[in-house]
Amino acid sequence: MIRKVLIALMVVLMMVSVSSARTIDDVDLPETLTFGDSVLLLNGGGTRVAFMNDVYVAGLWLENAMTDPETIKNADKTMAIRMHVINDFFASSKNITKAFNNGFRNSMPKGDISSIKEEVDRFKACFSGEMKDGDEFDIVYIPGKGTSVYKNGEFLDTVPGYEFKKSVWSIWMHDTRPADADLKEGMVEGSISTEALAAKEATIKAAAEAEAKAAAEAKAANEAAMLAAAETKAANEAAMKAAAAEKAAAEAAVMTIPAESLSNEDVFFGVNSASLSADSKKVLAKKAQCIKANPNISVAVEVYCDSRGAQEYNMALAEKRAKSVVNFMAAAGVDSSRMETVIFGAVESDANETAWANNRRAHFKVK
């Protein structure tokens, strides 16, 4: 919003500044300047003369016309002074800072600037470089920020403090010892052009329109965000309801598993192995669901081996297979007290691979 308002201000001010200016000693002073959020109006201007030589042209820009130097100096309002160098021999850094020193001393009781020496040194440092004809220095005061100095549009420094601002403006506005009495009289003329007033009015109007437009866009964006949030919330709630329904359906399906189905499928093992295959784990998972869905039953797990090998070996292998089954079921949430293992070991069968494979198994039976 602020960016759009500033853009509107810049557009209007650029249009007005190019087309409207006041000429003093061949120097064009624009009727309006903008700093911060303020549109400043050219209050008046004149030429600084030293030793019968023109040194620089200066103008004073205020928010509204003012003609009393003391009121201007003491006003805690945005304002600006522009110095346009027209004689770089007399407008040297040495001469300018010397004149500033005199102004600062005049502003302080008994001419003692020790209490503001740090601020004075920072301010004068902005004018320490080479000065050439055509150079422009803007001295801008913004309440709460301080006094800033720009050279040819380039920011140099900001010295904070309202009291220091009064000392700076005293250089030109002092009641008895200003830098130049005629320049002071010109700067406090209070002659605001109709072009400047029209520019300020147009700028304020453009800023208000830009702000209103930005506010409307922000409102629309907020409403769109709220709508999107509401849609997201509704989608999340729908997803949660669907998940709950799916869970309920799954639970209902589990509850319908009959106990008799426990005996439908056996769990098979590999040769000399007690490990559970992926298929065996799927079968056991279904059996675990069935047992949990039927809390009143308990089961016997009958474990077998094929007929090959020594009886002692086969019994030990069957014990391992039983342990694998019970451990899996317990991990799936079946209370081990509801399971009994019965070790049968080797089973006589036909001496072929199919018969042997069919007997390497664990069989569930409802007790």
Q: Which of 192, 219, 238 is the last residue of a domain?
A: 192
Q: Is the pLDDT of residue 181 over 60?
A: yes
Give the span between the Cα atoms of 74 and 76, in whole angstroms.
6
The residue with greater pLDDT, 238 or 259, is 238
Q: Which of 152, 176, 192 is the last residue of a domain?
A: 192
In a domain, 281, yes or no: yes
In a domain, 203, yes or no: no
Percent of the chain at pLDDT exceeding 70: 92
Q: What is the CATH number of the domain that holds 93?
A: 3.50.70.10
Going by pLDDT thresholds of 50, 70 and 90, the confidence category of residue 253 is low
pLDDT of residue 96: 94
Q: Is the pLDDT of residue 39 over 70?
A: yes
Give the span between the Cα atoms of 191 and 197, in whole angstroms.
11
Residues 137 and 267 in one domain: no
Contact (Cβ atoms closer than 8 angstroms) between residue 348 and residue 311:
no
In a domain, 237, yes or no: no
In a domain, 223, yes or no: no
Percent of the chain at pLDDT exceeding 90: 67
Residues 161 and 43 in one domain: yes
CA nearest to 60, candidates 36, 40, 42, 85? 42
Q: What is the CATH number of the domain that holds 361?
A: 3.30.1330.60
Reduced to 3 states (helix: H, G, I; strand: E, B; else coil), residue 121 is: helix
Question: Which residue range is the domain that position 299 belongs to?
Answer: 259-366
Q: Look up tokens 């509801």; give the residue.
A: 338
- The number of folded domains in the chain is 2
Q: Is the pLDDT of residue 4 over 70?
A: no
| Strands (E) located in the chain | 21-24, 27-30, 32-35, 38-50, 53-62, 79-85, 136-142, 146-151, 154-159, 267-268, 299-305, 339-346, 361-366
In a domain, 4, yes or no: no
H or E segment and range at residue 5 = helix 2-19
Q: How many residues appear in the chain?
A: 367
The residue with greater pLDDT, 1 or 305, is 305
Residues 269 and 131 in one domain: no
In a domain, 183, yes or no: yes
Residues 281 and 170 in one domain: no
Instruction: Tell me the per-residue pLDDT of 106-160, one tens digit each, with 9 for 90 and over.
Output: 999 999 999 999 999 999 999 999 999 999 999 999 999 999 999 999 999 999 9
Reduced to 3 states (helix: H, G, I; strand: E, B; else coil), residue 149 is: strand
pLDDT of residue 11: 41
Residues 162 and 26 in one domain: yes
Give the span between the Cα atoms of 94 and 280, in whole angstroms.
99
Residues 179 and 276 in one domain: no
The residue with greater pLDDT, 48 or 193, is 48
pLDDT of residue 346: 85
Instruction: Tell me the per-residue pLDDT of 294-323, one tens digit each, with 9 for 90 and over.
Output: 988 999 999 999 888 888 999 999 999 999
In a domain, 87, yes or no: yes
Give the span between the Cα atoms of 211 and 353, in whole angstroms.
88
Going by pLDDT thresholds of 50, 70 and 90, the confidence category of residue 256 is low
Contact (Cβ atoms closer than 8 angstroms) between residue 116 and residue 168:
no
Q: Is the pLDDT of residue 19 over 50?
A: no
Residues 67 and 161 in one domain: yes
Residues 271 and 178 in one domain: no
pLDDT of residue 252: 58
pLDDT, the chain, mean:
88
Instruction: Tell me the per-residue pLDDT of 127-136, one tens digit each, with 9 for 90 and over.
Output: 999 999 999 9
Q: Is the pLDDT of residue 265 over 60?
A: yes
Going by pLDDT thresholds of 50, 70 and 90, the confidence category of residue 207 is confident
Q: Is the pLDDT of residue 13 over 50?
A: no
Give the span between the Cα atoms of 324 and 35, in whole angstroms.
83
Contact (Cβ atoms closer than 8 angstroms) between residue 342 and residue 302:
yes
In a domain, 236, yes or no: no
Q: Which of 147, 172, 192 is the last residue of a domain?
A: 192
CA angle in degrees (0–180, nearest 5) for 327-333-335 = 75
| DSSP strand pairing (136-142 vs 79-85) | antiparallel
